[in-house]
Structure 1
Amino acid sequence: MEAALHYIYILQTCQCTMDQSQSGSRCRKNSDPLSMNDFWLEVENIKQMQGGSDGEESSSSEPSTPEEGEAEADWLQDTGLSPLIGDQNPTEDNVLILSTLTRTQTLAVQRRVDSYSRSLRKRTKQPARDVRDVFNRASQTDIVVEENETDERNGTEDTNGFTENTTKSSSGLDGGSGRSDVYNTDVAYSEQAALGHNDNCKTTWQPESLPHFQIQKGRLGVTRVSDLSSLDMKQIPPLALIELTALCDVLELDLKRNKAAKRRPSDSRLFGVSLASLLEQDRKLMSNTQVPLILQAILNCLEKNGLELQGILRICGSQARMKSLQQRLERNFYAGLFSWDEVNPHDAAGLLKLFLRELPSPLLTAEYLPAFTAVQKITDLKQRLQALNLLILVLPEANRNTLKALLEFLSKVASHEKRNLMSLWNIATIMAPNLFLYRGSGGRSQEGGEKQQAEGVAGLVMAMVHYQDLLWTVPTFLLSQVRKLNENSSKRFNERRLLNFLRKINIDKERAEKNHTEPCKQVKIRASLFVKDSLAIQLNEGTQAADVLKKFQEHVNHRSWQVVSSMGLIKCNNSFAFNNLELYEVGGNIGEHCLDPDTYLLDLYNANPNGEWVIKPSPPSTPTL
């Protein structure tokens, strides 16, 4: 009976879409603002399009759940802590990572090591390494961890013999205001959850009532994913995975990861090709490509001709035309012989969804798709966004960049709702099946009458579109951990160097105390691309990065040096104006960090006294076709 009702439901939604192609607004006005009609219709369309590819599907294996103990081993491998479960002692790298962890993060690591040991004992019936031994050995390693000058860390000895580190913020866990719209990234999310410092911000998925969150800017400003060098960003995913696990542990949420499905390599050059392979061949044409060129071309076509088109993304293009387009693209795209001018926008929307579904591994990755799905169970909206923030940081770089390009496009579609009649919820319900149903999944994901799960994943897509600026932020506490890793990795020494190292610590502490009491500091900022000498800046407690850039402009105008526009400056009215200049922090305990204009530079100097500051143009945007 339930199946019959569901089928009638599908037929009704199909009829609604057919009517809408003739009269775009009639169906929308009569529909529930949170209707799941579009979701189930999209599921049915996906089934119809995949109906003739059973032979290809048979060559794919479904993502599998790791066996007992295997999940913990994979987790420790991904976090860089796999030697903790072996016979050898923890390496210096392992100890460095452990030294940066908060109390809740350390507990999360301990649980995984302990769980792996229990599963090993069950399988082999042989003594396995005890978790207390692991952490005792780590704490006894001859590496001295210098305390972070910007974070107070309290070391308390646990009954299991390891040191728990709790990061505290001088501004307090509630940002000093207790406001529900403040999003705090100074303190680890898991610590906030463990201490109960949340605003109990529960909300239903009402697009018009989604609250606005303001990121609390500390003295060091806000850091976006694009602000860090690739070397620094490589250290973020392991730390983010540890923090995500710790947060889920505190929230009593089971964080499961699948093993990636195996799929026969595609003969195609565009569809059914992994993101890594696409980018490899794209970079032969454009070296700085971060998002596959075929996806960029599809999105450009839709932005040019489809943003104001009624029912864009909802109304299906012709399957015959899409098949023909796909074949023509395979032949002519890289030869530059394909023209998008005559492509029907509805067909282009179909190509977009087809591209996402045909990826050999889903855009959100087979490993973390269950984690994305599980996030919907978090009732507190702020904590849900914290988990999404960490999941996005865990994604491989290619997936993260591609997801960002997709979400930016979907945001543009939602901004034209009055013309295209596509609300944010409509867009989310249509795109969710294309992100959470994929080839090799067996087609069993959110269907089968599981309305609550369907609404949940649609809500996740809506949240990722609506809060994407927040989700692509690198939390301050993670950046602090990266700084500590960089600092400590340069301090590997043997016993003969221990005395010298301790002496240096005392000198550094005296310098830090002097910097703390010093009301101002003169530094030199390099801008070698523009001028030959350095720019001397007198720092005080109120000096920000924006002030330095303004001072540099005045300096250049005063000296009247000729600077070419390609270097980031434009001469106009006998003066120079900014084009795309940024102030970067380089070296010391960071690779390269583009500074927020609101960064207080005296605080940054105290956090990284060995770094230097460089004025240079921001990197060019991702090249497009």
Structure 2
Amino acid sequence: MDIAYSEQAAVLLKGSFLSESRRIKDGNTLTKFKIHKGRLGVTRVGDLSAQDMKKIPTLALIELTALCDVLGFELKRNKAAKLKTTEKKLFGVPLNTLLENDQKLLPNTKVPLLLQALLSCLEKRGLETEGILRVSGSQTRIKSLEQKLERDFYTGLFRWDEVHQNDVSGLLKRFIRELPAPLLTAEYLPAFAAVQNIPDLKQRLQALNLLILILPEPNRNTLKALLEFLSKVVARENNNKMNLWNVSTVMAPNLFMHKGLPNKIPEGKEKQLAEGAADVVRMMIHYQDLLWTVSSFLVAQVRKLNESNSKRYQFCDKRIKNLLRKIHADKDKVEKNQAEPSKVVKVHASLLLKDTLEVHLNNATRVADVLRQFQKNLCQNGWNIVTTVNLLKCNNSTECTNLLLYEVGGNIGERCLDPDTYLLDLYHINPHAEWIIKQNPLYPRMF
């Protein structure tokens, strides 16, 4: 993920390494891929600040266009759909509207509360149900349940424990199908469908990765919640008899067939297009951990944009000469630092302590080492934590999961750091950033 996908494709084409044998053929023989972690670690969707993530879709679209050009594929895009207003509160309501209403009740809601309730209900009582998602519930009951949800969902009076699980799965599919605009967006739905025409599996995944980064945040978060649930269904295959291909085949029409878009399917191509859509859904389910990452070459481009914007603002300042001198002086310092085998930096833990930690870095010091030593000292000394942490020797025996280290400022807005990030390398990339320890929001508070 260090090199632009389009550059990788150009190298493959030049070497004539593409082969039809590398296409996905069977659900039991899906190729295993592993992200090679560079010295700066892996960045996942959600690790970057909202400010930096706003830059990612444009960069991803540029890269996707370049990748399609190299591969000789036309990047098909529809016009954005015009959304019709509705008097309903839940079904047939735009994602943005749903989230705005939900956030009035629960601020920072990222996935519609109705979808969360449907998925939670199925996870508690439906994962073991044979044929879940495939076996249809009663259409009469489903329609009645939809009306009750519209009336009672936000009052808290709806009784989920009385609902048949196949009816809940029917409500789930109906919710996705009745969105005014497709979950994969009207604009990029053709591009998602065309991914299955790319011969090389790795390039198909790279194209999907870019398309997911292009999605609006509400769509991307909702899609991830859905795919995480579908993975849980597949994991219980022995009990519910729903393997990866079954689940993908059932869900593909709800994602790729939309009543608001013209479906001009050539005669005799229905089966081929249906299988292609199911193939794309299968990849999204199986490889979602890979797809929800931000490639390091994109993060590097975000850093360059931030540096460029910073310089642009500096040119508007009357004290331009002094600022330029400072820039050159800082650049000289960075060049000297890159030759240094070790460095002493300060790590802040403002939410936990008033003190800062002086951390001695060398080429082997990772984020995990800092967090582990910080937690160890915190447990031993409580609030009387020592102000200097010597990390010249690394201990890889345990991992610290309830604390996170963030890179803040400099040429990045904010980035949650992978535990395997080598800090001296990161310092050379962004010497003006602050490093701040925060508690992982997925874990209970320590204090």
What TM-score, normalized to structure 1? Answer: 0.65
Change (3 A) 1:393 1:447: farther
Letter in 1 for 2:302: V
- Verify the 8 A CA contact 2:401 2:440 in the aligned structure 1: no
- Which residue number in structure 1 is paired with residue 27 of structure 2? 207
**Deviations, residues 196-239 of structure 1 (Å, cap 9, x unaligned):** 27864722331110111010110000000011111111110011
Return the alpha-carbon distance in structure 2 between the equivalents of residues 323 and 443 of structure 1: 26
Give the Cα–Cα distance (whole angstroms) in 1 for the partners of residues 379 and 112 of structure 2. 41
How far the C-alpha of 1:440 sits from its partner, in A, is: 1.5
Where in structure 2 are the equivalents of 1:369-388 lying within 5 Å?
369-388=189-208
* 1:489 corresponds to: 309
| Matched AA of 1:605 | Y
Structure 2 CA distance for partners of 1:484 and 1:449, relative to 1, 3 Å: closer
Q: Among residues 137, 141, 162, which one is paired with 1:317 in the alignment? A: 137
Structure-1 separation of matches of 2:57 and 2:130? 40
Q: In structure 2, the residue corresponding to 1:284 is in which secondary structure?
A: helix
1:494 & 1:298 partners in 2: Cα distance?
A: 53
Matched residue SS, 1:483: helix
1:186 partnered with 2:2 = yes
Q: Which of 291, 297, 305 is 2:111 aligned to? A: 291
- How far is the alpha carbon of 1:508 from its aligned partner? 3.4
Which segments of 5 or more consecutive residues in structure 2 lack a partner in the other structure? Answer: 386-398
How many Å apart are 1:554 and its aligned residue? 2.2
Task: Give the deviation of 1:276 after TM superposition.
Answer: 0.2
Q: Give the corresponding residue for 1:423.
A: 243
Q: Is the 8 A contact 2:368 2:400 kept in 1?
A: no
Partner of 1:221: 41
C-alpha distance in 1 between matches for 2:343 and 2:362: 6
Identify the residue that residue 353 of structure 1 maps to in structure 2.
173
User: Partners in 1 of 2:18 and 2:154 — Cα distance?
Assistant: 51
RMSD (CA atoms): 2.1
Alignment check: 8 A CA contact 1:446 1:454 kept:
no
- Corresponding residue number in structure 1 for 2:213: 393
Structure 1 residue 594 corresponds to structure 2 residue 426: no
Structure 1: which amino acid aligns with 2:273? Q
- What is the CA–CA distance in structure 2 between the aligned matches of 1:549 and 1:494, rounded to whole Å? 40
Alignment correspondent of 1:514: 336
* Equivalent residue number for residue 335 of structure 1: 155
Which gives a bigger RCO, structure 1 or 2 (Cα 8 Å, sep 6+)? 2
- Residue 402 of structure 1 corresponds to which residue in structure 2? 222
Kept after mapping to 2: 8 A contact 1:584/1:594: yes
Contact 1:305–1:345 under 8 Å retained in 2 = yes
Instruction: Return 5+ residue gaps in structure 1 as ranges.
Output: 1-184, 564-576
Deviation at 1:499, TM superposition (A): 5.7
Asked if 1:473 is matched to 2:289, the reply is: no
In 1, the alpha carbon distance for the partners of 2:269 and 2:336 equals 66
| Residue 603 (1) aligns with residue 425 (2) | yes
1:515-562 C-alpha deviation (Å, 9 max, x unpaired): 111110001100022222101110000000000001101221332229
Cα separation, 2, equivalents of 1:289 and 1:395? 18
Letter in 1 for 2:381: R
Matched, 1:434 2:234: no
- Which residues in structure 2 correspond to 1:2-151 (within 5 Å)? none
Structure-1 separation of matches of 2:424 and 2:54? 27
> 2: CA distance between counterparts of 1:560 and 1:619?
21
Aligned residues: 424
Contact 1:446 1:453 in 2 (8 A): no
Q: 1-side partners of 2:266 and 2:376: how far apart?
A: 59
Matching residue of 1:242: 62
- Per-residue CA shift, 1:117-158, capped at 9, x if unaligned? xxxxxxxxxxxxxxxxxxxxxxxxxxxxxxxxxxxxxxxxxx
Paired residue for 2:80? 260
Q: 1:263/1:557 Cα in 2 relative to 1: closer, same or farther (>3 Å)?
A: closer
C-alpha contact 1:545 1:597 (8 A) present in aligned 2:
yes
Which has the larger Rg?
1
Deviation at residue 498 of structure 1 after TM alignment: 6.8
- Asked whether the equivalents of residues 24 and 201 of structure 2 are also in contact (C-alpha less than 8 Å), the reply is no
The C-alpha deviation readout for 1:277-299, integer Å capped at 9, x for no partner, is: 00000001110210000000000
C-alpha distance in 1 between matches for 2:370 and 2:311:
32
User: Is the CA contact 1:436–1:445 (under 8 Å) kept in the aligned structure 2?
Assistant: no
Structure 1 match to 2:275: 455
Taking only the aligned residue pairs, the percentage that are identical comes to 63
Q: Contact 1:543 / 1:600 at 8 angstroms: preserved in 2? A: yes
1:549 aligns with 2:371: yes
Q: Kindly tell me: are residues 498 and 205 of structure 1, through their superposed partners in 2, closer, same or farther at Cα, counting changes over 3 Å?
A: farther
Residue among 86, 98, 102 paired with 1:282: 102
3-state SS in 2 of match to 1:616? strand
Contact 1:447–1:454 (8 Å) recurs in 2: no
1:114 matched to which residue of 2?
none
Q: CA deviation at 1:503?
A: 4.2
Q: Could you tell me the TM-score, scaled by structure 2's length?
A: 0.91
Match of 1:326 in 2: 146
Amino acid paired to 1:457: A
Match of 2:155, SS state, is: coil
Hey, what's the Cα distance between the residues in 2 that align with 1:447 and 1:435?
A: 21
CA displacement 1:566-623 (0-9 Å, x = unmatched):
xxxxxxxxxxx966210111111111111000000000001111101000112359xx
**Partner-residue secondary structure (3-state), 1:603:** helix
Q: Which of the residues 573, 581, 591 maps onto 2:403?
A: 581
Q: Secondary structure at 2:197's aligned position in 1?
A: coil
- Once the two structures are superposed, residues 325-373 of structure 1 have per-residue CA deviations (whole angstroms, 9 ceiling, x without a partner) of 0000000000100010011110001001100110000000000001111
State the alpha-carbon separation in 2 of the partners of residues 486 and 444 from structure 1.
Answer: 44
- 8 A Cα contact 1:312 1:420, kept in partner: yes
Alignment pair present for 1:232 and 2:52: yes
SS at structure 2 position matched to 1:253: coil
Q: What is the SS of the residue equivalent to 1:597?
A: coil
Amino acid at match of 1:424: L
- Residue 308 of structure 1 corresponds to which residue in structure 2? 128
Deviations 1:257-315 (A, max 9, x none): 10123343121100000000000000011102100000000001111111111111001
In structure 1, what is the Cα distance between the partners aligned to 2:269 and 2:199? 22
SS of structure 1 residue aligned to 2:438:
strand
CA distance in 1 between counterparts of 2:310 and 2:46 reads 25
